[in-house]
Amino acid sequence: MSKEEKEIQVHELYKRINNSINKIDESMSYEYFALAVSKVLKEEYGSHLFSRFIKVLSKDLSSTEID
């Protein structure tokens, strides 16, 4: 998969997740969101992927410029 295709898929997934969150609670706290993501990882993906998930998340967050 090309970088452009990956970016398109990630953006589409972002839009769907964000729309779903807004349907539940537009002002959802970061704590509830983090706990829900943790539950999805535990229940649907398994502990064998935790370190990979954290690695990708950390890398992406650290490359984000903060204004």
DSSP the chain: --HHHHHHHHHHHHHHHHHHHHHH-TT--HHHHHHHHHHHIIIII-GGGHHHHHHHHHHHHHTSPP-
CA atoms of 57 and 40, how far apart (whole Å): 15
Residue 42 is encoded by which pair of tokens? 């535990």
Give residue-wise pLDDT tens across range 9-65. Answer: 999 999 999 999 999 999 999 999 999 999 999 999 999 999 999 999 999 999 876
Q: Which domain holds residue 46?
A: 3-62
Residue 51 lies inside a defined structural domain of this protein: yes
Residue 31 is encoded by which pair of tokens? 């704590």
pLDDT of residue 14: 96
Q: How many domains does the chain have?
A: 1
pLDDT of residue 37: 95
Residue 67 lies inside a defined structural domain of this protein: no
pLDDT of residue 64: 73
Q: Is residue 66 over pLDDT 90?
A: no
Nearest Cα neighbor of 21 from 9, 8, 32 is 32
Q: What is the pTM of this model?
A: 0.77
Residue 12 lies inside a defined structural domain of this protein: yes
